[in-house]
Structure formats: C-alpha cells, structure tokens
Amino acid sequence: MLLLLFVYQLSIRAACGLSWPSDRIIIQVLDDSTDPAIMDLVQLECQRWASKGINIKYEIRENRVGYKAGALKEGMKHSYVKQCDYVAIMDADFQPQPDYLHKTIPYFVHNPQIGLVQGRWRFVNADECLMTRMQEMSLDYHFKVEQEVGSSTYAFFGFNGTAGIWRIAAINEAGGWKDRTTVEDMDLAVRASLKGWKFLYLGNVQVKSELPSTFKAFRFQQHRWSCGPANLFRKMTMEIVRNKKVTLWKKVYTLYSFFLVRKVVAHIVTFILYCLVIPATVFIPEVEIPKWAAIYIPCVITILNAFGTPRSVHLLVFWILFENVMSMNRTKATFIGLFETGGRVNEWVVTEKLGDVTKTKVPASNAKPAVNKKPRFARIGERLFVLELAVGTYLFVCACYDLAYGKNHFFIYLYAQAVTFFIMGFGYVGTIIPSS
C-alpha cells in the first residue's frame, strides 16, 4: 500500500504544479485500484489539492474491463472533458515539469495537422541497480534514435502511452481508445496516423519517470511490450495496406521498419542466433559461422546502440548479456501475440514501481500489523525462473563441450551468457523486496 501511495503523491503533486491558467486546466485522476485502502488514500490526496483551489477530478469505475484503455475511454466520457481541446497523459509514476504545457501546446496551436506531441522520459532511478542501468541504455536508444527518426522522417512513431499530449479531435477521429491489445497507446497512434494526423517528438521536453527495479516487474512489463505490438501487427496489417490516406513509403515504414523489424524479427533473431544456433554449432564442427556475421556486424550495431547512453559504455558487455536473456522472454511473448496462443495474449499486470519507499522510513502511524511470513521455501520458489535456468543449463553444457573439443573459443561467450542466465534465473538481479 505504501509503495503505491508514494508514487501517486509524486505524480499528483507534479500534475497540480503545472504552470497554466487555473481556469483552463482540469487535472483528472483515473484510479483503477482494487484495494479500497489505496483508493481512499488517493482520493484524500486529490481532496487536499482541491482544497487549495486546484481543479482536480477523482474518477473511478465499477470494474477494470479493458485495463488502461478502458480507464482512458471511460475518462473521456465525462461532461467536463467536452470543454477541452487537448489531453496530457501521465502514468502514475510520471512527474512533468511545471513548464511542460508551455513547451508543448504551442506546436498544436501553430500546426492543426499535429495530433500528438510526445515528450521524452527521464529516469529518476536509473542508478538504483545494474538492471535499471541496462534499461536506461535500451530506452535511451529508443528515444534518441527510433522516436527521433519516426518524428523527423514520416511524422509517425508509436505513442509511449505517457508523457505525451493528444489533440482530442485526433483521438475521436481515430475511433477512441480500444482494448483489443495490451498496447492501447500504439494502437491509437497507428489508427490516428492512418487518418492523416502528424506526430511530433520533442527530445528536449523531459518528464521524470521511474524504471521497474524488480526483475519480476520488469519481466511482466517486457511481456506486455513485446506481446502487444506483435498482436497489433497481426490485427492491423491489412488495414494499413488498404489505407488510402497515407503514402506508400509510410506504409512500408510502418509495416516493415516499425512493426516487422523492431517489434518481431529483432527479438526472435537475437534469441535464436545467440542463445540457440551459435551454441549448437559447437557440437557440429563442420558448421562454420563467419566472424563478420557472428561478431563484427553485431558488435558494430551494439556499440552504435550504446552511444545513446555514453555514461554507460563501460557496461556494454553486461548490457549485451542482459539483453540476450531478455530476448528469450520477448521472443516467447512475440509468438504469443502473433499466434494468439495461450491465455497471456491480453494479460495485463500493473508494473510495480517503488517510488521513494526504499529511502523513506515508514511513519509509525502507518505501520501495518505483524503478519505471518511466507515459508522460506515458498519465498525462494517465487524467485526461480525455470526458462532462464533451462537455457542457462543448455549454454553451460555447450560451453563445457567447446572448452574440451572446440577450436573457436566460443566457450568464453557461452560461459558468460550461461552465468547471466543463471543469475537472472535465480532472481539475483534488480532490487530485492523482502517477501512478507
């Protein structure tokens, strides 16, 4: 309970601190909590700001149908929303700067074709642990390269779901929020783009946010971020092909570069090549993989990716090993999304964020009654990830065989990758929160 409260307090405080005429802004808090205690605390926080003259609305709904998309869709139905032309969307752990609206709204005013202005995420807890440093490297590349390219070349990119402002007319023309996948943000962006709306990414407008620092939370997030786009690709391919409002090159960019390469092929190739195929070649000496394909080209691409975060270049090797492990989870999620197999295609687990709880002493008045702790065996079991351990074992066997009989010295990489799989498989990565 305390974890969520700290995050909500930071977010609501930042939203209420936006520098904008008070009669021309409405702060809407969409609370999809299922815990009555948390709902009461968030409502009290909203009432506290309302007593200071802030125009803030606390909204809840009877169920969580559609998850975030359902909450956003319900939020747009309120009568006071009809007074508004734009909606800025911030997740519960995002904290915009006071001048956020002054830096973004003018672009809408001076260009009626713009439907979305996206800001950049700035991570307040990037230095919390090695796992958050790895995430920072991946996301910095996404913002500095992928979003910049999409914005400057085709005026299209995937909405990041938060830290952005939509023109409400663009949302309505695109058909509003839909919950057919777990990436309602990307879904809306693609549909709005097909209606002819332009998008603008502003790298200099940075919004404070928090990275998931527990491995369990990160795995759930990456499943959603990989499964959702693959499922959306499956559902929207023909709609994009048949669209007559956008150019052929924009269709090619959206289908090939945005979806196929970055959301599908990249994950699958990384996992199959570096975690399955190359290790398997140690058992078949007749198979030789050219060094340019196995080492040189991937190294160049990786180094270029890492330049997005210069301060972490020294962590490059750790980042490669970490990303290879995560490629397994992303590949699994991608196949689930493409073929809609299993019950996890529309799985939505809220990404747990810790806020300042790890640095803040809990007041005695908020102390919870003592509860029985889970058995030690149960706590250990929660931290075991079977797939990671299985692939780690496979790589370790391949490394041992290559050390004994191989000639290409692949065992150096294989041992390092196997150890990484074991570390993550036993849950020794990220911030460890004691289980109660």
Active site residues per annotation:
32, 185
Tokens 């809990």 sit on residue: 362
Phi-psi region of 67 (alpha: psi -120 to 50; beta: other; left: phi over 0): left
Q: Which among 229, 266, 260 has a CA at the least distance from the CA of 345?
A: 229
Cβ 58 vs Cβ 31: under 8 Å: yes
Please give the Cα distance from 78 to 362 (Å, whole number).
37
Q: Which residues contact 180 (CB under 8 A, 6 or more apart)?
A: 187, 235
Collapsed DSSP state (helix, strand, coil) of residue 160: coil
Please give the Cα distance from 403 to 307 (Å, whole number).
33
Q: Which among 214, 230, 55, 188 has a CA at the least distance from the CA of 128?
A: 214
In total, the chain counts a number of residues equal to 436
Cβ 164 vs Cβ 52: under 8 Å: no
What is the secondary structure of 9-76 as a DSSP string? HHHHHHHHT--S-GGG--EEEE-----HHHHHHHHHHHHHHHTTT--EEEE--S--TTHHHHHHHHHT
Please give the Cα distance from 347 to 344 (Å, whole number).
5
Distance of CA 72 to the CA centre of its chain: 18
Please give the Cα distance from 84 to 191 (Å, whole number).
21
Collapsed DSSP state (helix, strand, coil) of residue 302: helix
Please give the Cα distance from 138 to 166 (Å, whole number).
25
Cβ 163 vs Cβ 94: under 8 Å: yes
